[in-house]
Amino acid sequence: MNRSIRIASLAALLLVAISGIAPVTAPAFAQGASKGASGLPLPRFVSLKSRRVNIRIGPSTDYAVSWMYMKEGLPMEIIQEYENWRRVRDADGTEGWVNQALLSGERSAIAAPWMRSKGQDVFVNMRRDPQSSAQVLAKLEPGVIMRLKQCNGTWCQAIAGSVEGWVSQAEIWGAYPDEAFK
């Protein structure tokens, strides 16, 4: 992370601490980011709106289906836009095109997907409060999908099953480093 982004992040935290008001500027990750056809920043995270979503090799129903997702709420990263089509990437790096009507602005994340096949007993701790010393409410296996309520740039408040708590932003795929949102 370059120094200007770190300074901007610290200034934003100070503003929140003093006034209780969060700045409405783009998160540090999006500053200088390109804008898509929708006018929204690229890249950005969204989730699948439907239980069955076809991913195509091009931005039209004329293109072949390359993959079908069967999980509503799965996080996706939009990396390109063309009219009402979005080029998306999943946590495994698979890319393809999906109609925007099948995507939701609801945020979700996957617990440490990069650790799924490591053969180790690695867990993402969901804590009561956004601090590494807080009580652990749940141990999430890599690959667990959670709904994100908010992120503060370091921690994300999430719901996994019936448990709600805070997870380290560095241990999930679905929010950028230093990204904050409510």
pLDDT attached to residue 69: 97
Q: Give the mean pLDDT of 23-41.
A: 62
pLDDT on residue 29: 45
Res 24: pLDDT = 31
DSSP for 146-182 reads: EEEEEEESSEEEEEETTEEEEEEGGGEESS-TT-EE-
pLDDT of residue 114: 87
Say if CB 32 and CB 39 are below 8 A apart: no
Q: What is the pLDDT of residue 34?
A: 83
Q: How many whole angstroms separate alpha carbon 100 and alpha carbon 49?
A: 10
Q: What is the mean pLDDT of the chain?
A: 84
Mean pLDDT of 22-49: 71
| Cα separation, 45 vs 62, whole angstroms | 26
Q: pLDDT, tens digit, for every residue of 111-150?
A: 999 887 666 678 999 999 999 999 999 999 999 999 999 9
pLDDT in the model for residue 16: 33
pLDDT for residue 25 is more than 90? no
